[in-house]
Chain A
């Protein structure tokens, strides 16, 4: 199967590089959360929920593939512009970008790489994330880059289900038993410092938002907060805005968990270079 992508050979270098970095940021973010969610496969608290989280993982990895394919084509069609070498004398592929970059090259949000913890923490992370992603894709759908807009349009339908499913679980656990409420409470404190990064633009995001190629993520924050407050009220959970946020993921500065994820995810390609199946 082949894809037809917009022609960006006339873009100024700085914008082209920002576009590649931005596309990789979106790809990495979806891939790493997809990978984390897939760790639940076979371990979910009930069969239906095991299937649900695995389906969400599949959607996210599918989104990541679309973004990686686009990033690979941008890199291939503009030789010498972006600093990535797969080490083989062939064009860059989506797999190269997922399997042959190191932690410092990954631009995913820090919240996606955090450990799964218990079901409460996984649910809360999905809820924070999907609510953000829904707003992001609603904006990105209007991007002047037709491929980013198409991926956003496609993914939005899936994300709608993710928001619904995770919202229901936040309410069910928050307003559930004393133990489930307590676990949600602990999940809030372990994740709250990773939310600010979702609305703190990296340089490439600022540049692309100006060009109407990317989304203006600062603008998403009020609506995101309203949704979280609304669901937390139903879930009898407290919402407080944290005083500081941990950032850096978008620039390749990751938490200690990132190396472990890559070690597992990339092992095969590192041990048996260029292998296919």
Chain B
């Protein structure tokens, strides 16, 4: 049985999370690779690993190994971004499909709420992909997140022209995880993946 929490940094040679123990079997590497190909349906440039929602991968060869179907028992633990995020069920289904396609049959997907997901778990690579897609990536979370009204807005960089001369239009944008901004220099409106 091997167990690994998700690591945010990746080994550039294998495109796999760093810090995996040396004895990881071929299944483990393969499964992390499969997960890196499963994308968020609402922000399709981000994989579930970029988002930081995969918390654990458990592979059980014995006694979970089922001789009849020749497949180890795989348990993937994910955590929701937002309580009401409608993408979670689709993400769970897509992970299952991706593993089934790769020939794994004994799959369970678990959801945990604690520790609660934070945008700090998003990978650096993920943040760059978001920006290239036109969505401003989240600032580190200690900078906001209080209940105080009209607090000084954090500086959000326009993903198109890189100006910090931007203005909040609405705290709630096209999905629960985004707020809505406008750039005062290039005049383009844009989504900001808000800190959480």
Contacts and interface: CB of A to CB of B under 8 A. Distances in A.
B110 A59 contact: no
In the complex, which range does the number of interface residues on chain B fall in? 35 or more
Main secondary structure of the interface of A (DSSP, over half): helix
Interface stretch (B24-32, B147-155, B157-165): B147-155
Given A154-B80, A164-B147, A171-B150, A56 B88 contact: no
A62 B82 contact: yes
A151 interface: yes
Interface residues of A, number: 41
Nearest to B149: A167
A160 B146 contact: yes
A65 B170 contact: no
Interface in A101-156: 131, 134, 146-147, 149-151, 153-156
B132 to A, nearest CB: 25
Interface stretch (A46-54, A79-87, A190-198, A201-209): A46-54
Nearest to A227: B147
Given A66-B83, A165-B172, A154 B114 contact: yes
A72 to B, nearest CB: 14
B172 A48 contact: yes
B41 interface: no
B109 interface: yes
Contacts of A60: 84
Contacts, number: 106
B48 to A, nearest CB: 13
A96 interface: no
Interface stretch (B5-13, B14-22, B123-131, B173-181): B173-181
Contacts of B194: 161
B194 to A, nearest CB: 8
Given A2-B108, A160-B146, A168-B150, A56 B83 contact: no
Nearest to B86: A58
A274 to B, nearest CB: 20
A1 to B, nearest CB: 5
B82 A52 contact: no
Contacts of B88: 1
A203 B173 CA distance: 41
B145 to A, nearest CB: 6
B111 A51 contact: no
B67 to A, nearest CB: 24
Main secondary structure of the interface of B (DSSP, over half): loop
B55 interface: no
Nearest to A55: B172
A71 to B, nearest CB: 15
A187 interface: no
B146 A52 contact: no
Contacts of B145: 157, 160
Interface in B73-105: 78, 80, 82-86, 88-89, 92
Given A49-B170, A161-B171, A62 B114 contact: no
Contact of B147 (A65, A134, A146, A150): A134
Given A134-B147, A154-B114, A51 B174 contact: yes
A153 B148 CA distance: 19
A1 B83 contact: no
A1 B92 contact: yes
B146 A51 contact: no
15 contacts: A1-B109, A2-B110, A3-B111, A48-B180, A51-B174, A55-B176, A61-B84, A62-B83, A63-B84, A150-B116, A153-B114, A154-B114, A154-B117, A156-B116, A171-B150
Interface of B: 78, 80, 82-86, 88-89, 92, 108-117, 145-151, 169-176, 180, 194, 196
Given A58-B84, A150-B116, A167-B149, 9 more contacts: A1-B89, A4-B110, A62-B83, A62-B85, A151-B83, A153-B115, A157-B116, A164-B147, A171-B149
